[in-house]
Amino acid sequence: MMANKLYHRENLIGGMTVEAQSIEVIQETKKKKWKKRVLITTGIIIIILLITLFFVNAYINRSLAQVDGEIDLAGLQNEVTVVTDEQGVPHISATTEHDLYMAQGYVQAQHRIFQMEMSRRQASGTLSEIVGSAAVDNDKYFRTLGLRRAAEKSYELYTDESKAVLQSFADGVNAYIEEAIEENSLPIEFTLMGSKPAEWTPLDSLTIGKYMAFDLGGHWESQAFNHYLLETFDEEKALELFPTYPKDMPTIIGEGELDIATSFEKAVIPHTFNGSNNWVVSGDKTASGMPLLADDPHLGLATPSIWIQMHLQAEEMNVSGVIFAGVPGIILGHNEDIAWGVTNTGPDVQQLYVEKRSPENDTAFLYEDSWEEANVIEEPIKVKDEETIDYDVIETRHGPIISEFAEDTGKDTVLSLRWTALDATTELEAILSINKAADWEQFETGLEKFLAPAQNFVFADKDGTIAYKANGNIPIYEDGEDALLPLAGWEAENEWKGFIPFDELPRVVNREKGYIATANNKITGDDYPYHISNVWAQPYRYERISEVLESGTNLTAEDMMAIQVDIKNLRAREFVPLFIETLSGTEHTDIEQQAIQLLEKWNYEDDVESSQALLYHHWMEEIENRLYKDIPRNMMGMFSGKGQTTDELLRTALRGDTSIWVEEEGGIEGLLGETFSKTIEKLQEEYGDSINGWRWGDYHQVQFVHPLSGINPVLAFFFNNEKPMEVGGSSVTPMAASYDKKTGMVDHGASWRFVIDSNEMQKGYHIVGPGQSGHFKSDWYDDQLEDWVYGNYHETNLKSFNGEELTLKPE
């Protein structure tokens, strides 16, 4: 027993018995085995993940555009060569136009098929088929507008030659679609959406063209907003927000007959900033002695770009520039003889009509003392994983009823839309014609068929001619004030009086002052006999461009590029000194006084390093928030002339005249003082107490967002650029960079920048932000993002180009 006790004591190790020690050894052994198993399992998982990633990567890479080697393409008549240069620009050389446009369709589809698919669905109102119920309201709106119906009407006007171009292009797109489906190499976006592209048709291309007319607007929302003002505020107060004051106030809609805010709650309103800059300078002011031309259309900024740059060459054509993905030809650019660019004219091409419905027949409306039957168009909407929705569109003599797409208004008074783009028009024929034009006369002749949207065209040719024309169907109003409000649809006197004759549209050739510039500003004086528009862009971009061109001599292409990225803010230059003077007699905190001193030293440039730019823009936003605080958010989206209206209210008050909106906020001194203090407080909270540390670039940034990136952060990681980039400029600088006021993210601006010296008409200088390709694994997906921010252009040459070569061969 003593021995057992001794044994037991001698086998105590650190207070641990043999039994405990044995258990520990067992546990340690199990741990080692467990760790080994974990390592083995982890290794297996890693191997599986690597294999999966390898195959996923290989699958994704299969949908990259093939840019070298050979491809057999059934339908081609001869071989076509496609040279893709370092910037991803396809140079397509073909013997016949049939082969050229078929190759263009195939190449566009290679780079942009998902974008093309989404564009035609958006415009046609068929997104619900692949997106589901979330897109139903969007589809209802575009079915109501009837862009595809308008495309169908337009197609009937096209010549056989133009229809052949559309069909050749569609054949090329379909050749790619068939090949990609057969080889399981469609872009990954289709897998994510659980869909495949259907056959491409000529109508798809024309419908996308109609959508661009929609995106550039026409002011129906301004008419609705003006009616809302009269319905909501005292007449005198309402009229202060009108772009112009009507002499005699029409009283078309009775009180309570129509709720504008509710009727258009789900309307899709184009961005109010959709505009552009363009200008042309005569040889008298240039270093080369020949004209310079510059163009930068301002549209939505996203990935992929709304444009695709291409170079098309056949026996009778050699043209380079950009086109909307899904459309043949080149809409903006140059050939060996001429160059051209556009901005949005912004005319009153949309008119709301008040329609009185028959109490006994929902589809009959009053016209000249009798009931007129409207057209009822069945537009069934297919919805993914749900039943098809029966949807009817009602069209009066003026156009579709658009105040009912947000469900039943419960009223007998509704609004219809008359719009030039819903007519049969022939823009593609104009494009095909001007692509081959050799001088101003041929170019202007081609413009006769460019009807909607109305655009400001600038032109230069190798013979030294510079020219401008505001072109398109612009309705004739007996009185421009009629375009401010909805008109009575039952009175024949309210019908449009036709369109401004082609030969009487605003036009300038070889202007003596040596340049012609447009920036969506007012284009005619009071002596012009026709009404164009009541709503124009604020004049600051135009004034700055004109200021530089006016003083310039020996101008070069590089000077034109510098203007396109110019960040001088003339709105701030006008108002900041007046604001400071107004505040000079009031007391301020130390930080407010410091802010005023900084503003006094500002050079009025919206530079990323500028603390003044951050302060100024937030101050102007606070002023607008205060002035319009009683207008609901859904109506503010229809306030398309807000900028110019705010400027006029401030000018009125600053010169000592009365503005009701300003007086209700404590007068100009009270408005400026309170908003200034609130702005400083907000910026302190967001950016700290040191004003010198505030930077415009910390707020104002650009990313070019992919449409699917909002679904999931993982998709955002792959589809979006790595991180937003700081960028200068704003909505009122020549470097157009309009932004979301909540986030500071730039979402509208120069979708393409183009400069050319007609002394070397074969060379053009371009930026297509963020890049040429729609495939996130492509080298050309976002390679021009930094170029867009910093203004670095690439050269594209009609006669000399190198890159990877692809041969398309007849099958």
- Decide which of 302 and 21 is more confident: 302
Asked if 536 contacts 521 with a C-beta cutoff of 8 angstroms, the reply is yes
Residue 460 has pLDDT above 70, yes or no: yes
Residue corresponding to tokens 């003006």? 226
Asked if residue 346 lies in contact with residue 139, where contact means CB atoms within 8 angstroms, the answer is no
Percentage with pLDDT > 70 across the chain = 88
The lowest-confidence range among 212-221, 267-276, 520-529 is 267-276
What was the pLDDT predicted at 250?
34
Distance, CA of 100 to CA of 666 (rounded, Å): 66
- C-alpha dihedral sign at 484, 487, 491, 494: positive
778 is catalytic: no
The neighbour count for residue 309, using CB atoms within 10 Å, is: 27
Provide the token pair at 150. 């308008």
Strands 745-750 and 701-702 come out as parallel
CA distance 240 to 238: 5
Examine the pLDDT at 540 and tell me if it is beyond 60.
yes
623-631 contacts at long range (C-beta below 8 A, 24 or more positions apart): 623/650, 623/671, 623/672, 623/675, 626/665, 626/671, 626/674, 626/675, 627/661, 627/662, 627/665, 627/671, 628/661
Return the pLDDT at 36: 57
Q: Which two tokens stand for residue 230?
A: 């009269």
Region 510-527: mean pLDDT is 92
Contact indicator for 576, 665 with CB cutoff of 8 Å? no
pTM of the predicted model as reported, rounded to 2 decimal places: 0.90
- Asked whether the predicted pLDDT for residue 793 surpasses 80, the reply is yes
Structure tokens given for 262:
């509710």
Report which secondary-structure segment, H or E, holds 152. helix 147-155
The token pair at 591 is 């930080």
Residue 269's pLDDT is what? 52
Instruction: For residues 798 and 448, give the distance between their C-alpha atoms in angstroms, rounded to a whole number.
Output: 27
pLDDT value of residue 577: 98
Residue whose tokens read 């001429």:
338
pLDDT reported for residue 37: 60
What average pLDDT does range 528-550 have in this prediction? 94
Per DSSP, 688 falls in state -
> CB–CB of 362/355 below 8 Å?
no
Sheet of strand 90-93, all strands in order from the earlier edge strand to the far edge: 69-73, 804-810, 80-84, 90-93, 307-314, 317-324, 332-335, 338-344, 455-461, 466-471, 507-509
pLDDT tens digit sequence for 238-287: 999 998 644 443 322 233 444 444 445 555 555 555 579 999 999 999 99
Distance CA 311, CA 401 (A): 42
In angstroms, the CA 744 to CA 740 distance is: 5
Amino acid letter, residue 730: S
Q: What is the pLDDT of residue 634?
A: 85
DSSP state letters, 395-440: E-SS-BB-SSTTS----SEEEEEEEGGGS---HHHHHHHHTT--SH
Question: b/e for 508-523, b at 16 or more Cβ within 10 A?
Answer: beeeeebbbbbbbbeb
The per-residue pLDDT for range 569-603, each reduced to its tens digit, is 999 999 999 999 999 988 899 999 999 999 999 99
Whether 30 shows a pLDDT value over 70: the answer reads: no
pLDDT at 10 over 80: no
Give the chain's length: 811
What phi and psi, each to the nearest 5 degrees, are found at residue 90? Answer: -80, 125
Please give the pLDDT value at position 39: 57
d(Cα 236, Cα 668) in Å, to the nearest integer? Answer: 19
- Per-residue pLDDT, 99: 98
Give the H/E segment covering residue 615: helix 611-627
Token output for 432? 């095909």
Question: Distance from first CA to last CA of the chain, Å, rounded?
Answer: 102
Query: How confident is residue 19, by pLDDT bands cut at 50, 70 and 90?
Result: very low
Collapsing DSSP to helix, strand or coil, 674 comes out as: helix
* Residue (of 365, 298, 386, 349) closest to 748 by Cα position: 298
The dihedral formed by the CA atoms of 434, 496, 538 and 621, expressed in degrees to the nearest 10: -120
Antiparallel, parallel or unpaired: β 69-73 and 804-810: parallel
**DSSP 8-state secondary structure symbol assigned to residue 534:** S
> Under a CB-based contact definition with an 8 Å cutoff, are residues 475 and 420 in contact?
yes
Higher pLDDT, 648 or 29: 648
> Three-state secondary structure along 444-495?
HHHHCCCCCCCEEEEEEECCCCEEEEEECCCECCCCHHHHHCCEECCCHHHC
DSSP state of 686: H
Using alpha carbons only, what angle is made at residue 127 by residues 122 and 133, rounded to the nearest 5 degrees?
135
Residue type, 475: P
pLDDT band at 138 (very low <50, low <70, confident <90, very high): very high
- Tell me 330's DSSP state: -
Q: Three-class SS of residue 584?
A: coil
Is 559 labelled a binding residue?
A: no
Task: Determine the 3-state secondary structure of 300 from DSSP.
Answer: strand
User: What number is the average pLDDT over the span 461-470?
Assistant: 97
Task: Give the pLDDT band of residue 34 (cuts 50, 70, 90).
Answer: low
Quick one: pLDDT at residue 249?
33
Confidence of residue 15 (pLDDT cuts 50, 70, 90): very low
Euclidean distance between CA atoms 321 and 333, whole angstroms: 4
Separation of alpha carbons 277 and 294, rounded Å: 8
Which run of H or of E encompasses 70? strand 69-73
Grouping H, G, I as helix, E, B as strand and the rest as coil, residue 123 is helix
Q: Is the pLDDT of residue 21 over 60?
A: no
Comparing CA positions, the residue from 116, 133, 295, 305 lying closest to residue 211 is 116
For 444, what's the count of Cα atoms within 13 Å in the CB-facing half-sphere? Answer: 19
Q: How many CB atoms lie within 10 A of CB 65?
A: 24
* CB-facing half-sphere around the CA of 733: CA atoms within 13 A: 25
List the single range of 403-407, 520-524, 748-752 with lowest mean pLDDT.
403-407
With contact defined as beta carbons under 8 Å apart, do 302 and 709 qualify?
no
Which one of 168, 276, 403, 731 is the catalytic residue? 276
Predicted confidence at residue 713, as pLDDT, reads 85
- Upper half-sphere CA count for residue 726 (Cβ side, 13 Å): 11
Is 70 exceeded by the pLDDT of residue 464? yes
Which of the residue ranges 442-456, 503-517, 653-667, 705-719 would you say has the lowest mean pLDDT? 705-719
In the numeric block, which tokens belong to residue 20? 């405990």
Q: How many angstroms separate the CA atoms of 747 and 754, rounded?
A: 20
Q: Which residue has the higher pLDDT, 485 or 249?
A: 485
**What gap in Å lies between CA 573 and CA 127, rounded to an integer?**
45
Query: Reduced to 3 states, what is the DSSP secondary structure of residue 8?
Result: helix
Report which DSSP code applies to 285.
Answer: G
Residue type, 169: F
Share of the chain above pLDDT 90, in %: 81
pLDDT at 245: 42
With beta carbons less than 8 A apart as the criterion, state whether 103 and 172 touch.
yes
pLDDT in tens, 59-73: 789 999 999 999 999
By the 8 A CB rule, do 137 and 266 touch? yes
Element (H, E) at 323: strand 317-324
Return the closest-CA partner of residue 455 out of 485, 422, 479, 420.
420
Q: What is the pLDDT of residues 323-362, one digit of tens each?
A: 999 999 999 999 999 999 999 999 999 999 999 999 999 9
